Amino acid sequence: MYLPDIELHETGALEETAALMARYAPNARLLAGGTDLLVDLKTGRLRVAHLVSINRVGALRGVTETGGGLRIGALTTITQLERSPVVGQRFSPLLDAARKMAAPQIRNLATVGGNVACAVPCADLPPILTAMNASVALFSAKGRRNVPLEEFFVGARQTVRRDDEVLTAVLVPEPSPGFGAAYARFALRDGNAIAVAAVAASLLLDHDDTIRDARIVLGAVAPVPLLVESAGARLIGQSPAEDAFAAAVEAAMQAAEPISDVRGSAEYRRELVGILTRRALAAARDRAKETQ
């Protein structure tokens, strides 16, 4: 498999990157780690005449604390995310996903921005980021905007991002006291295997231990990371005991839109959603209690 003839552009400035995309989109793609994009180009799934590398754009780097939470620069690699002290201390549910992705060699190249922007249904970071109320920051020659993740994905490999927009960062709000989140996934082996099904859950507990807010987000069982609002609603006002999870588990299983493929049948995936929802909720509850 060889790459077709493509013109490569590279600049260190975000504004120039946006100008190149405004000029060449839709016949251009942004190149980050290349772990998805180069495969698509080599296999012919995607054909474009221009690649705009963002690897020298300093404004897209770094994991930093902002007033209201965490800013993860789009070029942050999965390895850098795993090793970030602030992620380990206060945003550790992200590690549930980061540590299960691919294998170390891929994690050294693959970026957070690429994992979100590619909008592949089995991508690991979008469900847990959505459960943690994250949004993405977009930049283009026309301006900036932020989009909550639950509004970002519109179909398999499709988002509301325009072709000329650069995803500059993922923004995760500071978790409140009583907030806990977790990500559980099932894959056919530990390394270099994509999720067959995955569930992210978050809970916000009141002082008296009742659930004030809950989010359940499914991965790899629908065209988009699926925020199941009916499942979260069934938990609100409940105590976070295992038997209170049953209605939410049922709602999550019903909401899933799984397909059958070489990794598992639709029925098998729906069963997995039930098991993983229960696991993610229990882990989110335990973490929430630690922060109350």
231 binds ligand FAD (CB under 6 A): no
72 binds ligand FAD (CB under 6 A): no
Contacts of 283 (CB under 8 A, 6+ apart): 96, 180, 182, 184, 201
Query: Which listed range, 10-18, 118-126, 228-236, 266-274, lies at the site for ligand FAD (CB under 6 A)?
Result: 118-126
> Strands, DSSP E only, in the chain?
7-10, 28-31, 50-53, 63-66, 69-73, 135-140, 143-148, 153-155, 158-159, 166-173, 179-186, 197-205, 211-219, 226-227
In the complex with ligand FAD, the residue whose CB is nearer, 198 or 231, is 198
d(Cα 135, Cα 233) in Å, to the nearest integer?
21
Q: Pick from 64, 192, 239, 292: which binds ligand FAD (CB under 6 A)?
A: 192
Q: Pick from 194, 220, 253, 255: which binds ligand FAD (CB under 6 A)?
A: 194
Query: Which listed range, 81-89, 99-107, 230-238, 245-253, lies at the site for ligand FAD (CB under 6 A)?
Result: 99-107
Q: 151-167: buried (b, 16+ CB within 10 Å) or exposed (e) per residue?
A: ebbeeebebebeebbbb
Minimum separation from the CB atom of position 96 to ligand FAD (A): 12
Q: Pick from 6, 22, 34, 259: which binds ligand FAD (CB under 6 A)?
A: 34
Minimum separation from the CB atom of position 196 to ligand FAD (A): 11
In the complex with ligand FAD, the residue whose CB is nearer, 204 or 224, is 224
In the complex with ligand FAD, the residue whose CB is nearer, 74 or 284, is 74
In the complex with ligand FAD, the residue whose CB is nearer, 35 or 202, is 35
Structure tokens at 99: 């540590």
